[in-house]
Structures are given as structure tokens and as C-alpha cells.
Structure 1
Amino acid sequence: MDETLVTSSEPPPSDGDPMDVVTEPHNPNDNQSASSSDSDSESDDEAQAALELQTLETELSTNPANYDAHVQYIKALRKQGDIDKLRLAREAMSELFPLTPAMWQQWANDEISLTLTSGNEGAIPTVEKLYERGVSDYLSVSLWYDYLSFIQKYDSSVRECSPSGISKARDLFERALTACGLHVTEGCKIWEAYRSYEEMILDGMDKTDSELREKQVQRIRSIYHRQLSITHSDLKSTLLTYKTWESKHGNNLDVSSSNTDGLSPQVASTYQKALEMLTLRADFEEKIVKSDETDTERLQSFMAYLKFEQSSGDPIRFKSIYEPRVKSLYERAITEFPISSDLWIDYTNYLNKTLKADKTLRDIYDRATRNCPWVGELWVRYMLYLERCHGSEKELSDVFERSLQCTFSTIDEYVDIFLTRVDGLRRRITFAKELDNGLDFVLIRDTFQRASDYLSPQLKNSNTYSLLQIHSYWARLESSIGKDITAARGVWESLLKNSGSMIEAWKGYISMETEMAHIKEARSLYKRCYTMRFPGTGSEDICKSWILFEREFGSLEDFDHASQKVTPRLQELQLYKLQQETDEVEDPPTRNRREKRKAAASAAASNEHPPAKRQKDKANKVEKSVTQKDKDMAHGENEPKIKNPTPEKPKLYTDKCTAFANEEELRGFFSDVGGAGEIRILKDKLTKKSRGLAYVDFCDDAHLEAAVAKNKQTFLGKKLTIVRSDPKGKRKVSFGDDRNSTKQGRGGDDTNSGEHGHKKVELKGKNTFAVPRNVRPLGWSFGNEPPSAATSTTEGGDEKPKSNQELRDMLLNKK
């Protein structure tokens, strides 16, 4: 339903224009009260309209991208009749959004009713421009038809069939056919209008000029033939119309029959082919125009139709019409679903395959980015197209700047746009024979700087790969095209300043210096970063990378220096990992108090054994096969296979009957004391090599004491330190009396000690700790043992139990 443009500056149009002009009539018979009431009502309406306009103006000033606000604002201005503001509002909206065909028709009709009904032909170019802008936004047969009707009615040269007018009209008709002549259901309207105009020219010709008239007849016949060769819904009625027309011009054809008898073989053949194609497309056409289906279903029907068209082979082409059926169908779909990004992407994919650098694609890419400005891929394709068709730097720059004004859903889209811009500048500087004025490396540097300033805060936390990609690309171009190694280093230093914990940044920087044979500078970077803490295995990797670097590029002195620096660092990192793994093995997650109370209550109710007893019983039930692989395990080469048919939960080793060592044949070493059970050797997570540290379980306290007595004995040419292990570091016991050590154990009852009421914890256990000699400096022996590694001995000769922290301190020479 058309809106009414309210104004009193012009009389109503006399040609039935749908945009009626309304004036307020005056009735002299109205009484005073009715007049007053009407005046009050009108005043209220005006106040309401003014408030609505003010609200919409405020909204648009703060949020110009509000599409619905633009539509409502234009509607309100049309009601008010403020022509100047209405024009400005429409221009403002058209700069941001494509207008629908209905909105262009409404705009053109408003201008016609205001300027041309009084015979002001000077306004014709203004209205023509409106139609031109409208038909470029979307495919609309009705808008083209209005455009053609307007030209024939208001342009005197076209109306009077002057040579210039005829030429203008024919060019416009051919453009209309190119745009929508292949529209299956509505395209016939343009064909009929074209034939009607040519018939009018024929009727106006001198009847005595047979040659000129025959030429005109042939022109009309050609239009009929072209129309009969394409697929449209009125094919059969067009054939009958054509046969009637031929009969009027002396050709005897059966006008009552729909067969092709009497037609030339070529016309008959193309007509039959078009009719067959129409039959194949009937179902598709029916589905896409169904009004009872949802938009999603209709869009799916369009996509199925497009897939069929693309698989049916090369489209039929005919004189003056260069757009294939597939393109026409895409345009129909776009008109129905203008903000479907998937549809636009699919459309541009098709155009890239078929038309490539054709100049007609410029408008299509422009329309795509105006309809879906939030899709980064469309902007990227637009820039690549402009580069492919040798667009100017100004065009490329304008598109790039427009894209940065949009809001995209992912940070990767911004990255892609920046890098596409840089790619184009690089190619044009490197490969172009003639550069545009002002095109130099400064543009590349500025683009990279903008990308870094805008994207670094987001990429630092979400996408370090893209951040590294931008800076490595930038630094490479600074050195290769810009010929400025100082600037290239500045790029890397800037990245390190913001993302120094990212090992890839250091590696990239070092790689650049190495590739350019700047060995000294690369070595300096290794010295700066080898002590840094990187995620995962990065710290070890950078140390090993430095050693490899010196192997390939450094002198012997350089290699020795790097080894002296890296070795302690690697040991420190290894011990740190050991500490973490020990915590994981010995410190299982504790349950909350409620779970503990439930477990205790359950155990008491079922008269089960205490937790320590249950764990010991369970350990005695585990079947193990101790073979020669136990010896291999001491070297970290292979782990023993435990024959256990069912998966078992990881054991929680909380007892204290464990010996810790690092050499092979541990079981044989302890064979003389007996009682050795589970042997657990700690291994490096990455290399799977033994760390030279192990826990050995013993069945009881007596065997444990015998194992501890072997402390400081030589084993395979090396001395072992064997001490008790106190995993929790909480059991403080006295070894002043040998009887205490034999009575203490895990899981025993607590007893009061002395007047202070402290509880003693019995150590029934079997945990000893062995420190291998290979973690000591070469040449170290028990005789020159550093103080931090010494252990105290009780009168009975037993070692004091060591807590985990004490053992770590002993390893790290801290105590």
C-alpha cells in the first residue's frame, strides 16, 4: 500500500499517479465548535508528529547504521510533506544502504509528481538518475518497466521518435533485456514493451518508403525470434502472437495452432529447445514463488535451482544479451534475500570462475559489500578483483578504508583484510612495470603499523599465530623491499616488548638474523632469551636450539661458552620437572571432609580394615612379572610390563618403606636384604629416559632397616645414598632409641608423647631415598661430600627420614 505525500504546493496529478497529493478542504458550513475541535486534534497530531521526527533524528545522529530508523524517518517526512528534508533523508540512507525497488519507485514517483506534472522538462535528468541508481541496486522488472515508461512519456525526443530519441530508447531497452530479459516469469514484460515501441516507430514511418519500412519490420521480427529462443513462462502465447504478426505482414501461418509449421527451421529449433528447458524448470519456478513457505525454505529452493542451472551446461546466449541464465537467477535470489552472506559469497564465487576480471564485476562486488558489509571475505575478494583488473591505487585505497569502517565477527577477518592490502601493495611495487603516483614502501609500512596498533591487543590473547605472521611479514619486507635492517629489527623488538613470552617471536627474530648471515646478532638473541620461562617445553627447546646453532655456525669457543650457559639451565629445568612429577606421584588430591567422614563411617559400619591395611593387602595381590626388563628400566630404555588383565586405578603411594636410587639391577643390589617389592624409576616426560632416581618398596620395617644399612655402599663403581622417605614431611620422630624405629610404622595407633600431649606417628614403613652420583660434579665422592648433601645418623646407625622438601633441597644443594 503506497504512502501519501502530503503537500499543497502542486495540484493533484492528472495521470492517475499512485502518489496522490492531498490538500485540506475548507467547509464554510462547519460550526465553530467543530472547527475548534478539529483544530485541537490537528494540533495534537502535529505535536505528536514533531516529537516522532525529533526522536528519529536523535537516533540517526547517534546511530546512523539503524536501517529501520531511516525507513521510519522517511515515512514520517512524507506524511509531513517536508520535501527538502525528505530528499536529504533519502540521500543519507542511500549512501549507507541499497534501497529496495519499491523505495526507488516511491522516490521517483514523488519527484515526478512534484516537478514534472507542471511540464518542467528540466527535471527529467534528475528523475533519470534516480531510476539509474535504482536499477543498479537490485534486479527489478517493475522498476525497469517504470523507467522505460517514464522515458517514453516525458522525454520528447523519444516520444516523437527522433533519431536521437530512438537511439536512446533502443539502448535503454537493450540494457533492460540484458538485466532482466531472462527472468522466466516477468521478463516477457520488457520484450513486449520493446516490440510495442518498435511498432510505434513503424506506424509513424512514411508508407511510401518501403525499403525503410521493410528494415523496420525485420527489426521487429528479430526481436520476436530472440524472445522465442529463451526460456520464459509466456513462450506459447508469444508464438501465437508472432504468427499473427507474420500473417499481417503477408506470411500465411496457422494462427490458431501452437505448432511451428511455417517457421524457419532455426526459429522452430530454438523455440522447441526453449520449451523443453521451460518444462525442466517449471517445478523450480513454482517452489521459489510459493508464498506459504518460510524464507529459509525459499532460499533453499533458490540454491537448488541455481545448482541445477550451473550443472546444465553453458547457458544460451543471444544477440545483445550477455548475462547467462545463472547470473539472472542469482540476481533474482539476491533481490529476495539481499542480506544473505552465503548467497553473495556463492554468487561471487561463480563470477570469479566465469567472468574473472570482467569490468562488470565491479558493481556486483560493490553491491555485495553494501548489502553485507560485515563479511570480511567479500571485502577481500573486492580488493583482489580490483587488483586483477588493474584498478587504480585510489580505488583500492577507497575500498580498503571502507572495509575498516565495518564491524566483523572475528579478528581473523580484520587480519585477512590488512594482509590482503599489504599483498597488493607488495605485488604492485615488486612486479608492476609502472607504479601509480605516490605508491612506495611507505604505504606498506603505514598499513603494517595500523594493523599492529589495531590488532595487537586482541591477537596477543587470542591468536598469537596471526600476530607473529603480521610482524614476520613486516620485518621481511622492511629488509627486502625497504632495504632497512634497522627497521626490520625494530619490528621484532616491538613484538618482543609486547609478547616476549612467545617463543615463536624469538625464533622468528633469530631466524631472520641467521638467514641474513648476522651470526653475532643471532647469538646475542640466544643470550637474551635462554634463561626465560616459556610455556610447555619452550625453555628446553630454546636452550637446545642455541647448542645446535653453535654447532652449525660458531667456533669451538662459542660452542663451549653456550654449553656452559645452557647445561646448568637444563639441569634446573629438569629438577623443576622432577619436583612437579614427585608432587603428582606422592601428593594425591585430598577429598573434602565430608567425603572422608563418609568413608570412615562406611568402613566402621562394614568392619573393614583400615585404609592402610587395605592398601597393603591390595598391593600384595598385584601380580607382576620381573624380568630382565627391570634392568633395562634402570637405564630408562624400556619399562617393565605388568601382567594385569583388568585396568587398575593409579596407586597412591603414601607409605614410608621406599628406597630411592638410580642404577640398574636395583633388585639384585637389595637381594641380600630381601623384601624388595615395587621399584619405581622416575623418567623424563619427553625423552622417556631415566632421571637416575627411584623409589623401592619393602614389605616390612625389618627389611627396610637392612636396606638403609647399605647406605654409602659402592654399587657398580658408584656410591649410593639411601635414606628413609617421609612424603608428607609431617612425621617428626626420634631415633634415639632403636626400639622406636622398629615400632614406628604407617597406619599405627597414635600415642601421647610426654606432658605436652604431642602424638607420635608409628613408621611401619619401607621408604628410603637414594641420590645417584651422576647428579654430582665429576670426581665427587663421599669423602668430599658438600655439607648440603650430608645426612645425620642416629646412635643406631639409621638415617633420619627425609621429607620430600628435604630431599629436593638436598638435590638442589640448598641445604
Structure 2
Amino acid sequence: MEIDGEDVTLEEELDDNDKDNENDNDNGDQLQNPKLRSDSNSDSDSDSDDESQQIEELRTLEIELSSNPSNYDSHVQYIKLLRKMGEIDKLKQAREAMNNVFPLSSDMWRDWAKDEASISGPEGFTGVEKIYDRGVFDYLSVSLWCDYLNYIQEHDPSVRECSPDGISKARNLFERALTAAGLHVAEGNKIWESYREFELAVLHTIDENDIKAKELQVQRIRNIFHRQLSVPLVNLRSTLLAYKAWEVEQGTDLDAKSSEVDGISSHLASAYQKAMEAYNARAQHEEQISMQNLSDTEKFRNFMNYLKFEKSVGDPARVQVLYERAIVDFPISSDLWLDYTHYLDRTLKVGNVLRDVYSRATKNCPWIGELWVLYMLSLERGRAPEKEISSVFEKSLQCTLSTIEEYLDLFLTRVHGLRRRIISGAEVNDVLDYSLIRETFQHASDYLSPHLKNTDGLLRLYAYWARLEMNLGKDLVAARGVWESLLKIRQTIYSIHLGFIAMETESGHIREARSIYKRCYSKRFAGTGSEDICHSWLRFEEEFGTLEDFDHAMQKVTPRLEELKLYRIQQETKASTDQSEISGKRIAREKRKGGSTATDEESSAKRQKNTAQAQKKGYEDKDQLQKHEVNDAQETKIDLEKTDSAPEKQMKGSDAVRTRGYTDQCTLFISNIHFKASKLPPPLLPVPRQGGPYFVFDKWGWELGLAYVDFVDDEHLTSAITKNKQMLFGKRLSIARSDPKQSRRDGRRVPRDQGSDRRRDSRESAPNEYADKHYESRSQQAPQPATLKSDDNIQFKGKNIFAVPRNVRTLGLMRYDPLQQILGHEEVVSSNLFRFFCLFSD
């Protein structure tokens, strides 16, 4: 831990505390002094307050980590506080918990190793060694490697005593360090020098009489010098001088003070000169990435330029080391990790190296789905066991990815790998069968279906699933079950039915494919899907069916196509009409909002027009002309006031209306209406109506054959009921009094937003959704309904546009068509509303 700027281990701190306690005991007689005792009590109180504050802070961090274990800063603060308080057991657990989620920095690993060494002593050598071994895996750190090597040489008995096993162990560790950081241009020479010093120490332990062993060790040291001199590193000239001095000690005739290559072998001289040229080519890049006071953007750009240079040289090992150096400074840069892994996949292709890099990449950037996908593919290429691939897949699903499509890619990648390994029979130890693929698909369905709005992605998943069920699983019933389950989720999607039909057709099941057409040709699909499915059925019968099958399909499809054609024409007509009305009202609204300038211009133009008209009418007298202009201005003002205030007054006046539900006391309910009835020209109704007719539509704007008509009294309503069972366009009308309470008492199902629900309490429906299209632009500013007493006498009079729900509308109302929203159009289109042909007159 850090005390007064120095790094102090836990053991040293505890020793210091013991010494302080001894000093306190020795000076016990001094505490009899009242002043000293008072100062001591003050210090004790201060320490107690600090300890209480630390305990409270510790408890807060523990609560935060228990609720959010992915909080990196909380982990760091928690570990620092535990280390400061000397909580050894909790400290170890905290470090393990953090390392399970995040990689640790080299400084954190170094502190961990030092604390463990100070606590456990020589008996804990193995534990400290494991900590160092784990630490050098997370990030490239030359200093941590040097600490690791020094610790092994000092505390491993076999290495310290230079036993054959100890020497072999140390050499293997040095070679690992050189592979990881020996090409580090700025700091790699530290490991080379440490390696040479170890071999020199081994040389001194060899018996002088064992000439062969000494010559072998000398040659080993010489090879290390030669290897280092062929690598572009800093202080390469100093290394050459050290080599010459060592050769002189071995009896070679060289000028040890000369920095030239005179006297050394031609092979070594050539390698040294190439290394110097390589270092000079990289010196500028090294200077740029080591500059201080650079922004992260500039430093990242310098690293990318350096990487571009190393890639042009074409040494994969040097490129990999430079990537590792960049990751130390930018550990959570997903672009850097993706670039690194793509490079390794293209060039290095070493299974163990790729596995380690992907493991660290997903640990640093777990929110990048592409890294998890590449990780699983890399494991498959390296022929990793099924258990390891499955573990990586499960970890990826526990991460928070950016989009639902990334989760879809994970599931599909998993299925692709299982399919390939099952077909090839590559698994030896792990037995793979198709049930694992089925379980993965089911998991994907449960996981993605509630959230996957992209129909193409959902269709791809289920189509792939059904194809594998039939081809790999050899289960046609299961394949059909997959399509049926998808239809339950998205039954109004045209392409899903076609995919189901395509599977049946390709497998030769013509009768089953025809049955799907019969089930779906009358369904309502988005866009032109309803027409397309009809034409597709006809083509299907032309290619696969008999003449009788084709005639039967034609008989079913023809009236459906006529109905759809008529509906499209009506939609286009209403859309164009409503658009022109909206444009006109928008222009008028803009004119009203134009301010005094537009008013003055309009007034000036109007005065000129009135002057001309007055002259034609004989208004030669100025007083008469002025009086005429004043009258016109007053009329214009009245018109504007009516236009501006009408919707506001109506909306204010409807506050009381929206606070009381309507009970359908004098309302007629008509059902079984043919859709052609609404296309007839409306004659004048001979019976007094209060409002309506209100037609009922579904969310797509299709007529349901239902309507409501309000009457002013029971006499006229009873007269209209006598028309019950009358035929209209071959359909027998059902006319009856609307009685929602009786429907509920009888246990009949009352459709939502139909019947009396169109006048439900305004507290259950948002009035702004049902505003008249003439006042649609102001609906967002409609006042909230006022709360009235229960004994208020409320009656419906005039045109009530606020109590009409979204599925029951009278003529003149508009809505946003969900079909248009699906297609991506935001313009307002008119609802399919028409006046009903009057059948209530004698």
C-alpha cells in the first residue's frame, strides 16, 4: 500500500503497527501527564472517526457491487479501501471477484503478488507464482515480466540452487518472456539483459574442470547476445559494446571499446546492421507514441500509423507485439480489438494464440457481439472441444449487446457450428446429436421472439430451423410445427406463408401446400400482400394442380381480388381528398399565423378589390365606401374568430361530456352489413337522428359489417327496429337496440372499442386520439377534462368527436393508419368511412 509516497507491503505495515504499540507501552508513564493524555485521547477519537468513515464507505461499496458487479470503478475503490484497512481475507476475494469480470492492470497484479508474498512467506511461493502467471496474460507489461522472473530466481529453491530442473524451468520462463515482449522496441532489452545475467550466473556455478559444460554454457550466452543484436531495440550499440567486452573476457582478440562491427563474424555484423536500420526506421514512430501531453485521439492515430508501417514490413510477430502495446493504452477500444483479431485470423492462424487474444478481447469489450461470433468461429477452426465452445456461447448471452440482431447472430453462429460438426463427425470425446440443435433453436425462439421486430431476421431463424428439422433431423412433422409456431407469432406476414408453402412444395407435398393457400388467401396482409398471395395461388395451381384445382382457386380468388381492388381505389381517393383538405387548412392556418404583415397585405389587397367593386356598384361617395370597407372587415374578423375558436370552444365544452360514460339509452345496433352498402349515395334520412351512423373498423381500417345510429327518442328507434331481417345485397340485416349492460349480463363477449365502449369514460381513453381531422393540428393542445360530481346531469348533444374510440368513427374523422406506419409513410391517410345507405324509411 502507498504511505507517504512509498510502496509498503502489508507485512511491513503490520510490523510498524507492532512497533508503535511497543513504544506506547514503554512510554506508559508519560501518559500520566494530563496534557499528554488529552492529546492521546484526541488522536484516538480522530482515528475512531476515520475508521467509522472507512467502514461506512466499505459497506456502501459492497452494496453497490452486489447490485451492479460490472461497475469497474467500484471494484477499484473497494480493493484500495480493503488494502488500506488491512482486510486480508476480503481483499483476496475482492480481487478474484473483479478478475472474473474484468482484466486487471499490471500495477494491480504487482500489488496482489507483493501482498500475497508478504502474507504467506516462503510457503506461499506457489500461490504467488500463479498470480504472476495470471497477471502477464491480461496485458503486455515488461516490468511485470521482470518482477516475475526476479521472483522465480530469488524464491524458487530449484532455480536458486541452479539444479537441472530449476535451470530448465527458468529458461522456459525466459523464452516465454522473450516471445511476449522480446520485440518491444523501447523496453524489450530489459528481458534480454536479465536472461544473459541468469546464464552468466549459471556459468559461474559450473566446475572449472568440466570444460565441455563450460564451453556449452559460453556458447549459450554467445547465442543470446547474437539474438539480441539482430533485434531492433534501443541502446543496441551499448549491447554491442557489452558483447565485445564479454568476448574479450573469453579470450577473443577484439577492440572492446569500438562500437563498429570490426572483429566480429560477418554473419553477426550483417544482422546487427539490419537491426540498426530497422530501429532507425522505427525511431520516429516510437517517439510519436511516447510523447507526453498528447490527446487520446492523437496517440491512437500515431499507433495506427505505426501499425500500418509494421504491416507493410510484413513481420507478424512484430505487428502482434505492437498491437499488444496499443491495447495497454486503449484496452476498451472495440475497433482496435476487431482490427487485431482480423489480422491474426488472416496471418498468424495459431490456435492457442487466437484463443488467448479472443478471450481477452471479449473480456475487455463484452458488449461487442461480433467479437463473440469471431471467438466461437476461432474455437471451431482450432478444433476446440464442444464444452469450451458451449461455455463461450453461454457467456456471450449473459452480456449486454447493442442490438437484438447481434443476439440473433450469436444463435445462428452456434447452430452453424453444431451443424458442421455433426455432419463431419469431427467430435470424438463429445457426442453431438441433432437434439442439441433443436434445443438451441428453441432457446433462440424464446429469447428473441418477444423482441425481434425485424421480420426478415425472425423468418430467417425459423426457416433455417424448419429446413434442418426436415433435412438433418428427418422429422417432417417437427418442420411443419416450426412454421405453425411462427404463424402464431406473426400470422399477418405474407412472406411467412410463402416460406411455409415453399417448403411443402420443394418436398413434394402439393396437397399440403394447397391447404395453406386455402387458409391464407383471405387474410389481410400489409402492402400488396393480400393480392400477391391470391396471384401466387393461381400460379401454383397452373404449375402443380389439375384444371379442376385451378378453377376452384379462380372461383375463390376472383371475388377476393375485386374486393381488394375496390378497397384500394377507395383508399387512394380518400387519401387524395383528405390530403387536399389538409393542405388547404394548412395554408389557411399559416395565413392566420402570418402576423400583422400578412394581415396588412391582405387588408390592402382587399381594400383595392373593394374599391374596384364599389366603383362598379356606384359607391362614389367616400363615406359610403369607407362604411362598406368597415363592414367587410367586421365580417372577416367574425369568420376568423369562428374558425379559430370553434374547435377550442368545442373542446372546452366537451370536458363535461368526457367525464361521464354513455349508456346507449337510444342507440340502434346494426350487424351483418354488406360492404357494398357503404358505397351507395346517401339519401336524406326521414327519421330524426342524434348522431351517426358510426361504422366499426379493425386496426387495419377494414370494415367489420357493424354500425351504430343514435336517435332522439324511443319512438323513432322503435320504428327503425321494424326493419330487422330486411335483405340488402343478399345479406340479411340484424337490427336491434344497443344494450351493452344486457350483453354483459348474458355473458356475451363485447368487442373492445365497440358498442358502448365508443362512449366510455374519458378517464379510460385519451381524447386527443379521436379529435376531428379539421382540428387535428390543435389536438395536442386540448385541455384536460375537468372532474365533475356524480350527480351532474350530462346529455349528449350535437356532434361528439371526443367520445368516439379509435375503431368507431363517424364521417369526417381521421386516424393514423397502422398499415401506412408499417410501410414507413408518416402522412395522415383518411379512414375508410362512408355514409350508410338509409333503410329506416317507410
- The alignment's TM-score, normalised by the length of structure 2, stands at 0.69
Aligned to 1:558: 549
Instruction: Kindly state the Cα deviation for residue 245 of structure 1 after the two structures are TM-superposed.
Output: 1.1
Partner of 2:512: 521
The corresponding residue for 2:191 is 190
Q: Which of 298, 319, 341 lines up with 1:326 in the alignment?
A: 319
Matched, 1:502 2:488: no
Once the two structures are superposed, what CA deviation does each residue of 1:529-582 show, in whole Å capped at 9, x if it has no partner?
A: 111121111111111111100100111111011111111111111111111222
Aligned to 1:534: 525
2:11–2:118 Cα contact (<8 Å) kept: no
Q: Do 2:367 and 2:399's aligned partners in 1 also have CA atoms closer than 8 Å?
A: yes
CA contact (8 A) 1:471 1:491 kept: yes
1:731 deviates by 12
Structure 1 pair 574/2, CA: closer, same or farther in 2 (3 Å)?
farther
Listed one character per residue, the Cα deviations across residues 297-335 of structure 1 (whole Å, up to 9, x for unaligned) are: 1111111111110111346xxxxxxxx111111111112
Q: Distance in 1 between matches of 2:51 and 2:236?
A: 54
Work out which of the residue numbers 318, 330, 334 in structure 2 matches 1:337. Answer: 330
The one-letter code of the counterpart of 2:440 is T
Higher RCO (C-alpha under 8 Å, 6+ residues apart)? 2
Residue 450 of structure 2: SS of its match in structure 1? helix
* Aligned positions of 1:237-248 closer than 5 A: 237-248=238-249
**Partners of 1:309 and 1:326 within 8 A in 2:** yes
Q: Distance in 1 between matches of 2:210 and 2:441?
A: 71
Q: Distance in 2 between matches of 1:469 and 1:233?
A: 56
Q: Which whole-Å CA distance do the structure 2 matches of 1:207 and 1:805 have between them?
A: 105
Shift of 1:729: 8.6
C-alpha distance in 2 between matches for 1:545 and 1:202: 88
| Distance in 1 (alpha carbons) for counterparts of 2:177 and 2:437 | 43
Are residues 1:390 and 2:383 paired? yes
Cα distance change of structure 1 residues 436 and 154 upon mapping to structure 2, 3 Å threshold: closer
Q: Do the aligned residues in 2 keep the contact of 1:8 with 1:22 (CA within 8 Å)?
A: no
Aligned match of 1:285: 286
- Which residue of the partner structure matches residue 591 of structure 1? 585
Aligned residue number for residue 96 of structure 2: 91
Match of 2:153 in 1: 152
Q: How does 1:421-436 map to 2 (within 5 A)?
A: 421-434=414-427, 436=429
Structure 2: distance between partners of 1:77 and 1:497: 55
- Asked whether 1:452 is paired with 2:453, we answer no
Shift of 1:171: 0.9
The residue identity in structure 2 corresponding to 1:382 is Y
Q: Secondary structure at the match of 2:135?
A: helix
Counterpart Cα distance in 2 of 1:215 and 1:807: 101
- Do the aligned partners of residues 585 and 158 (structure 1) sit closer, same or farther apart at CA in structure 2, a change above 3 Å counting? closer
Structure 2 counterparts to residues 120-131 of structure 1, below 5 A: 120=122, 122-131=123-132
What is the CA-CA distance between 1:434 and the residue it aligns to?
A: 4.8
Q: 2: CA distance between counterparts of 1:68 and 1:209?
A: 58
Letter in structure 2 aligned against 1:207: E
CA distance in 2, matches of 1:495, 1:458: 14
For 1:346 and 1:200, locate their aligned partners in 2 and report how far apart those are by CA, in whole Å. Answer: 43
Q: Is the 8 Å Cα contact of residues 8 and 21 (structure 1) preserved in structure 2? A: no
Q: Give the Cα separation in 2 of the matches to 1:387 and 1:454.
A: 24
1:215 is displaced (CA, Å) by 1.4
Deviation at 1:8, TM superposition (A): 8.0
Which position in structure 2 is the counterpart of 1:415? 408
Q: Show CA shifts across 1:379-432 (max 9, x none).
A: 111111111111111111111011111000111111110100000111111122
Q: 3-state SS of the aligned residue for 2:268? A: helix
- TM (norm. structure 1) is 0.71
- Within 5 Å, give how 1:9-88 maps onto structure 2: 11=15, 26-27=23-24, 28=27, 29-30=30-31, 31-88=36-93
**Which residue of the other structure, out of 464, 481, 488, is the alignment partner of 1:473?**
464
* Contact 2:682 2:835 survives alignment (8 Å): no
| Equivalent residues of 1:471, 1:495 under 8 A apart | yes
What pairs up with 1:723-762 in 2 under 5 angstroms? none
Offset of residue 126 of structure 1: 0.8
| Structure 2 match to 1:638 | none
Using the alignment, how far apart are the partners of 1:175 and 1:378 within structure 2? 26
RMSD: 3.2
CA distance 1:22–1:290, shift in 2 (3 Å): farther
1:45 CA displacement: 1.2
Does the 8 A contact of 1:4 with 1:79 survive in 2? no
How many residues align structurally?
A: 611
Instruction: Determine helix, strand or coil for the equivalent of 1:230.
Output: coil
Partner of 1:606: 605
- Where do 5+ consecutive residues of structure 2 fail to align? 610-678, 685-726, 730-811, 813-829
Task: State the 1:255 CA deviation.
Answer: 2.2
Match in the other structure for 1:269: 270
- Is 1:359 equivalent to 2:352 in the alignment? yes
- In structure 2, give the amino acid aligned to 1:467: L
- 1-side partners of 2:302 and 2:46: how far apart? 51
Which of residues 94, 119, 124 in structure 2 aligns to 1:114?
119
* Alignment deviations for residues 118-150 of structure 1 (CA, whole Å, 9 cap, x no partner): xx3x21111100110001111110011001100
When structure 1 is superposed on structure 2, of 223-232 and 578-587 the one drifting more is 578-587
Contact 1:386 1:396 in 2 (8 A): yes
Task: State the alpha-carbon separation in 1 of the partners of residues 12 and 832 from structure 2.
Answer: 100
- The one-letter amino acid of 2:449's match is S
In structure 2, distance between residues paired with 1:158 and 1:787: 105
1: CA distance, partners of 2:39 / 2:432: 74
Aligned pairs for 1:299-314 (under 5 A) are 299-314=300-315
Matches within 5 A, 1:695-774: none
> Is the Cα contact below 8 Å between 2:570 and 2:832 reproduced in 1?
no
- Secondary structure, aligned partner of 1:47: helix
* Deviations, residues 149-204 of structure 1 (Å, cap 9, x unaligned): 00111112211211111111111111111110000010000000111111111122
Q: Residues of 1 paired with 2:557 and 2:504: CA distance?
A: 21
> 1:352 is matched by which residue type in structure 2?
D
Note the C-alpha offset of 1:62. Answer: 1.0
| Corresponding position of 2:211 | 210
- Structure 2 CA distance for aligned equivalents of residues 443 and 458 of structure 1: 23
